[in-house]
Every structure is written in C-alpha cells, then in structure tokens.
Amino acid sequence: MIGFSPSEEQKMIVNTVKQFATDVMRKKFRDCDESGEIPAEIIDGAWELGLVASCIPEQFGGAGWEHSALTGTLLAEELAWGDLAMAMHILAPSLAILPIVEMGTEEQKKKYLPALCGNKFTAATAAFIEPRYDFDPNEFGTTAGRKGGYVLNGEKCFVPLAAGADFILVYAREGKDRQCFIVERGAKGLEIGEREQNMGVKALATYELNLKDCKIATENRLGGDKGCDFNRLANLSRVALASMAVGVARASFEFSRDYAKERHAFGEPIASRQAIAFMLADMAIEVDAARLLTWEAAWKLDRKEDATREACLAKSYADNMAMLVTDYGVQVMGGHGYVRDNPVELWFRNARGFTTFTGMAIV
C-alpha cells in the first residue's frame, strides 16, 4: 500500500520552510525579480535551516540525515510557493551534494563535501541542459573521452550559480553511457559565459558553459570506475521540478481564490460566477493531481525502485499543470492580472520555464 501520511519530522520540516517562505521569501520576491538579485541574508537564512547539507554524513561535517526524496518534494514545494527563483538558488548546492553523497567515491566525498557544510551558503551546481533545439538528455552532445584523464567537449546552458561555484558536475556522454564529471573552477578548457537574461526566474543567476578540450583527472568521474546511476539522478531531478511546479501553481491558485472571494462585481463576489468558480475548481484539481503523481514517484525512489515511468509522468503532467493554473490565475484577475505589480504575472512567467528546466533542481 502506498501511504503519504507525513511523519512528525516531515511535518516539522514543512512548517519550518512554510514559515520561512511566508515571513521572508514572500516579502521580497517581487523586489528580487525586478532587481535580478537575491539578498545574501535571505540565502544565508535559508542555509541556516540546514535543509541542503543535512544529508551529508557526519564524518564529512553534515548532519547525517537519511536522504528522502519524499521529504525533498515537501520542502521544494514550500520553497517554490515562496518564490521559484529563490528556491532554485537555495537548493542549487543539492545538484552537487546529492549525487556525490549517493554515488561518489570515498575520496570524492572527503574532498568535496566538507566545504559544503559551513555556516554560510556555499555555491555548487551541475550543468545538464544544452543550448540546442533538439536537446535530449538521453543523447548528450557534450562528450567525455579518455586521454590520460578525461577530456570534455561541449556546451551547456541554464547552469545555476556557475560563476560562483568552486566545482560543477557536468553531465556528458562517454561512449554510449551517460555519466557525470566533477569539473573544478579554473580547469583548463572551462569557459563560463556572461549571465543569461531569462523571461522568468529573473533573480536566479544562470550561465552558459563552454568546454573546449577541458581536461580533468580520471578520479573526477563521479563514482570512479563504477560511474553513476544516471536514471536515478534524472528521476530525482524530475520529482524536484514537479514539486516546484506544484508550489508555483498552488501560489497562483490560492491568490486567485482569495481575490475572487473578496472582489465584488454586480453586488456579489466574482467567485460566485460559474465561469470563475469552475476555473478555480479546475485549478485545485490540477494542483492536487500533480502533487499526488509527484509523491508516488518520490515514494518509489525512496524504496530504491525504478521510478522512471512515474517520475516522467509526474514531470510532464506538472509542466502542463503549472502553465494551465498560472494562466487561469491571470484570467481570474482580468486585466489587472497583466499588470507587473500583481504576482500572478510573475508566477505565469516562471511556470513557462518548467518544460525547459530539466536537471536544474534535485531532491
């Protein structure tokens, strides 16, 4: 039987993150979107909650919590409800931490994990997406060849926090296999481009990478000779992004619902009009449906089962759901929904990116 009753620990985590999202993120998300910057005190405040580095084993400086994809989806939804750009910034180090914790060699854990256990936010990230119209994560254009060590060639885009990261996990094709390689800052052949200008998540700094005969040591292949389980990492990313899509959509639904109850026209709340009421009902249904699909996939991942089907379904459904719900949010507001000082237009712009954000988050 599948059961989704949260444990007391999970309830505590959700309440803590919800409080932070309400008291901190929601008060600054519009300013951050306009300025393109997130204040350091917000990021450090989130870091102090211990959400990101908690799964690092104690011998490497972490809290040693058991990794749970289901717990990760719960906190990712709440963070994205607060603001998607901030959530992706806060969780960016997980793109490096989780793969190394689950699949790294002992030497890789000793070398890279302790630096991510400090009192201040430390940037780390991963490069997954490639800037081509036919990008397929099953067929990376970025390649890794053995020439003494490894030589990487290719291009990546939408890499969060790349300019400030001490190392980047780069996904590439080694022969027919999909593997991950740890590329340190300053590696010969690694070029980090200018910050990208995006339609949504404008406060999140993302960059393009160019890898031109980028040479790294043999031991920098994630997992060493054993390599990594690419499918599991891809599925952990899918459920993370699906849960974030739920968070963004839920924010739009709740705001629209409350607005429709308070906004009066022709002597009654507009929520009493069928056109609005049915729209709000569809929004609620879609949010709950996407959440349950995501939880099912995360539940199977926690049981170490193959959740590729469930994770792909959850991600695909959540991508479309987020666009539908945030678009309805704009419609419920009428013309006012198109105005920049109304948050529904921001959520709509952010939701548009979920079909593109492949590999940009992991839980």
The pLDDT score that the predictor gives to residue 133 is 87
Taking residue 326's Cβ as centre, other Cβ atoms within 10 Å add up to: 28
Least confident of 191-195, 271-275, 349-353: 271-275
* Strands 149-160 and 268-269, sheet pairing: unpaired
Residue 5's pLDDT band, with cuts at 50, 70 and 90, is confident
Residue 238's pLDDT band, with cuts at 50, 70 and 90, is very high
**Residues 6 or more apart in contact with residue 279 via CB below 8 angstroms:** 328, 331, 332
Q: Does the structure show a pLDDT above 80 at 160?
A: yes
Q: Does the structure show a pLDDT above 70 at 27?
A: yes
Q: Please state, for a pLDDT cut of 70, what percent of the chain lies above it.
A: 99
Mean pLDDT of 83-101: 98
The helix or strand, by DSSP H or E, that contains position 256, with its residue range, turns out to be: helix 230-262
Of the candidates 63, 232, 241, the one whose C-alpha atom is nearest the C-alpha of residue 160 is: 241
Q: How do residues 248-295 score in pLDDT, each as one tens digit? A: 999 999 999 999 998 888 888 888 899 999 999 999 999 999 999 999
Of the candidates 183, 180, 179, the one whose C-alpha atom is nearest the C-alpha of residue 165 is: 183
Residue 337's pLDDT band, with cuts at 50, 70 and 90, is confident
Tracing tokens 């309830």 back to the chain, one arrives at 11
Q: How do residues 310-319 score in pLDDT, each as one tens digit? A: 999 999 999 9
Specify the CATH superfamily of domain 230-355.
Butyryl-CoA Dehydrogenase, subunit A, domain 3 (1.20.140.10)
* Strands 206-216 and 190-195, sheet pairing: antiparallel
Computed over every residue of the chain, the mean pLDDT equals: 95
The helix or strand, by DSSP H or E, that contains position 309, with its residue range, turns out to be: helix 308-333
Q: Does domain 125-226 have CATH number 3.40.50.720?
A: no
As a whole number of angstroms, the distance between CA 90 and CA 76 comes to 10
Helix boundaries (H) for the chain? 8-20, 26-35, 40-47, 69-82, 84-91, 94-103, 106-112, 230-262, 274-302, 308-333, 343-351
Q: Does the structure show a pLDDT above 80 at 1?
A: no
Q: Does the structure show a pLDDT above 90 at 338?
A: no
CATH architecture for residues 8-116: Orthogonal Bundle (1.10)
| 8-116 shares its CATH topology with 125-226 | no
Q: Which residue has the higher pLDDT, 138 or 91?
A: 91
Mean pLDDT of 63-76: 94
Q: Does the structure show a pLDDT above 90 at 304?
A: yes
Question: Could you tell me if 293 and 310 are in contact, meaning their C-beta atoms sit under 8 angstroms apart?
Answer: yes
Question: Could you tell me if 221 and 151 are in contact, meaning their C-beta atoms sit under 8 angstroms apart?
Answer: no
Q: How do residues 115-130 score in pLDDT, each as one tens digit? A: 999 889 999 999 999 9
Q: Which residue has the higher pLDDT, 192 or 338?
A: 192
Task: Write down the domain spans for the chain.
Answer: 8-116, 125-226, 230-355
Q: How do residues 140-154 score in pLDDT, each as one tens digit? A: 999 999 988 999 999
| Count, residues in the chain | 363
The DSSP symbol for 22 reads: I
